[in-house]
Amino acid sequence: MDNLVSRIKAELERVSWTSSGAHIKTGDVRKIASQAFRSLGDRSKDHVFSLCEELLEQRSWPMKVIAFDFAYRVRRQYNQADFAVFQRWLEEYVRGWGDCDDFCTHAFGELICQYPELSRKTLLWTERREFWLRRAAAVVLIPSIRRGKYMETDPLQVADLLMQDEHDLVRQGYGWMLKELSAKEPDLVFTYLRKHRAVMPRVAFRCALEKLGEERRRILMQ
């Protein structure tokens, strides 16, 4: 195990102990991540990704938070080949909606922002057995939507593919994506929701309309 990874593990244990047995908070984990990254002498992407692998191999929630934090910090070094690395991490180490959202709204989402054409590959996730991969197909587009690159990633196609997904967390995920899109394109999302309101699951529908104006929400809820 890398010496830095050992130090991080010890610091996490120390913080957990001083919090009197309470569950360590995300803010505390991110502070440890920031301090650890500043101590790095070699911040090349290859070295940082190698550390991320070691952190992820610990298979604990705090270590995943730190690994995904490290990966995001080297975002200026990304290239298209990193998609294969990130997808493998998503498949091997993510096991729930929290890991999925952290990774996809930061490091992985940033990669899609930089190379929107990679979003074509994420469409295949909508067919995966693991619910977090199907959720990821929507959530990974949120950074692109927020930065006005939704024309390149076609979030409505993802919503179409996930429309009748059996898992509520997947439904909530594409509803969240549509909600973010509504902040940029309220007319587009209003029209989409009006067209599909008879078939869209309630959890997705209610989430998607949250940022629309009161009058539009009233019309959709009739």
The pLDDT tens digits for 168-211 are 999 999 999 999 999 999 999 999 999 999 999 999 999 999 99
Residue 20 predicted with pLDDT over 60? no
The three-state secondary structure class of 58 is coil
Cα(13)–Cα(85) distance, integer angstroms: 29
* All structural domains of the chain with their residue ranges: 1-77
Q: For residue 180, what pLDDT is reported?
A: 98
Pick 23 or 129 by higher pLDDT: 129
- In what helix (H) or strand (E) does residue 165 lie, and over which residues does it extend? none
Averaged confidence pLDDT in the chain: 94
Write down the pLDDT at residue 22. 58
C-alpha pair distances (Å), 163 with each of 109, 116, 155, 197:
21, 22, 12, 11
Structure tokens at 126: 């909508």
CA-to-CA distance for 192 and 149, rounded, in angstroms?
19
Contact 90, 103 (CB under 8 A): yes
- CA 158, distance to chain mean position in Å, is 15
